[in-house]
Amino acid sequence: MSIAEFADRYRVKITTPRSRPIPPDSEDVIEGKAGMIGEDFQQDQIHGRSRMLLHILATPRNASMEKRLFSRSRAADAAGFQLKVRSGAESVWYFDPTSAPQAKAAIEIVGARKRRTVTVTPSMLAHLASARQKAKPLLS
């Protein structure tokens, strides 16, 4: 599963490399308050197995967030994620994106932003049309 498919399935925002405040990379990620979710590194991919990486990082990079990061690491361990590397309070975990409980836990742990979806109803369209009619004389 790609990062775009993951974001579509769980309605979270993708951050492009150009708009990222943490160290730039060439791949899109799902950024959150305490790190990011990204695709597995090319050299670490296991053939036939779908997995993603949960990076628990201090963002902004100079922030002291040790208590928050350690508690999120404990939550990742409790959710059944596999530890890849730990460096102080920051860590990287493997998880299965096809498993709904693990995917939802990863989104919650990292604090990713949900993508807003609005269902437009006919009454909303009618209200918008009447508001436009009222605003036209003011704009002239």
Instruction: List, for residues 118-133, the tens digit of each pLDDT value.
Output: 888 999 999 999 998 8
Give the span between the Cα atoms of 59 and 78, in whole angstroms.
23
Collapse the DSSP code of 115 into the 3-class scheme (helix H, G, I; strand E, B; otherwise coil) and give the result.
Answer: coil
Task: With 0.85 as the threshold, say if the pTM is over it.
Answer: no
Instruction: List, for residues 20-47, the tens digit of each pLDDT value.
Output: 555 556 678 888 888 889 887 765 666 5
Q: Residue 83 forms beta bridges with which residues? A: 93
Q: In the chain, what are the domain boundaries?
A: 3-139
Q: Is residue 58 within 8 Å of residue 69, measured between CB atoms?
A: yes
User: Does the pLDDT of residue 10 top 80, yes or no?
Assistant: yes
Q: Which CATH architecture has domain 3-139?
A: Alpha-Beta Complex (3.90)
C-alpha neighbours within 13 Å on the C-beta side of residue 123: 0
Instruction: List, for residues 50-64, the tens digit of each pLDDT value.
Output: 789 999 987 766 667
Beta strands in the chain (DSSP E): 30-32, 35-39, 52-56, 82-87, 90-95
